[in-house]
Structure 1
Amino acid sequence: MSDPLPPIPAKRYFTIGEVAELCGVKQHVLRHWEQEFTQLRPMKRNGNRRYYQHHEVLMVRRIRELLHEQGYTIPGARNRLQEAELNDSTPVMPPAAPQAAPGPDWRLVRQELLEIRKILTTE
């Protein structure tokens, strides 16, 4: 059994370095997986800098689980993910536990807006 992964912070965009740390893989592995898995397409801005969204971080964790913990090959994991997309009874990600909807954390909203502004103004 591998060490538990850290929780994913509440933010919209993640750099490749942040995703590598959150998912326990190296950056070059993430770049390779982008070539192998069509589901993994981070946004690229400013000199091909990658920005992953929350659902892509979850996808990286799922790919890591299939390859490293369940022993799938890359083609096998690719097929497993494609089957899951076609068959709703086999979710790609396990369903999240239902939670009460808390009010917005305005500090996080502000931080996210500042990050978006920074991305948009550096073009």
Structure 2
Amino acid sequence: MESKRPHQIDFPDKLYYKIGEVSEIADVPTYVLRFWQTEFKKIKPKRTPSGQRLYRKKDVDLVLKIKHLLYNKKFTIQGAKQHLRGYEKDSEEKIPAQTL
């Protein structure tokens, strides 16, 4: 049985999610999602010709991780950005510690 991280929740498996759906899944207002999109460049919803945001599953997962860092772990925006950058680097490759 696979255990979930605290920020992972079950939500419908779809190709795209509208901002209202993401707001409901993450339990944050739509204006917060729009703000996070400006602060966290990795959140890149597609736009319809009318300008509506369409989030992919990976965007929703990232929103949930950001919410967990900011609301549960009490990170600042800057701290969450640094944590996410460090998380990406760690997952790409492990860098050995240098001794001086």
Range of TM-score over shorter length = 0.7 to 0.9
Q: Residues 14 and 53 of structure 1 are in contact (CA less than 8 Å); yes or no, is this contact kept in structure 2?
A: yes
- RMSD, aligned CA: 1.7
Deviation at 1:44, TM superposition (A): 0.8
Runs of 5+ consecutive residues of structure 1 not aligned to the other structure: 90-123
Residue type at the aligned position of 1:30 = L
Q: How does 1:32-51 map to 2 (within 5 A)?
A: 32-51=35-54
Deviation at 1:6, TM superposition (A): 6.0
The count of aligned residue pairs is 86
Q: 1:25 to 1:5 in 2, by over 3 A?
A: farther
Residue type at the aligned position of 2:72 = E
Matched, 1:75 2:82: no
Residue type at the aligned position of 1:82 = R
Q: Which has the higher contact order (CA 8 A, sep 6+)?
A: 2
Q: How does 1:21-100 map to 2 (within 5 A)?
A: 21-88=24-91
Instruction: Report sequence identity in percent.
Output: 34
Q: Residues 20 and 30 of structure 1 are in contact (CA less than 8 Å); yes or no, is this contact kept in structure 2?
A: yes
Cα displacement string for residues 40-86 of structure 1 (whole angstroms, at most 9, x for unaligned residues): 11001122100000111000000000000000000000110011111
Counterpart CA distance in 2 for 1:82 and 1:10 is 27
Q: Residues 13 and 51 of structure 1 are in contact (CA less than 8 Å); yes or no, is this contact kept in structure 2?
A: yes
The normalised TM-score by structure 2 is: 0.80
Runs of 5+ consecutive residues of structure 2 not aligned to the other structure: 1-6, 93-100
Q: Residues 16 and 55 of structure 2 are in contact (CA less than 8 Å); yes or no, is this contact kept in structure 1?
A: yes
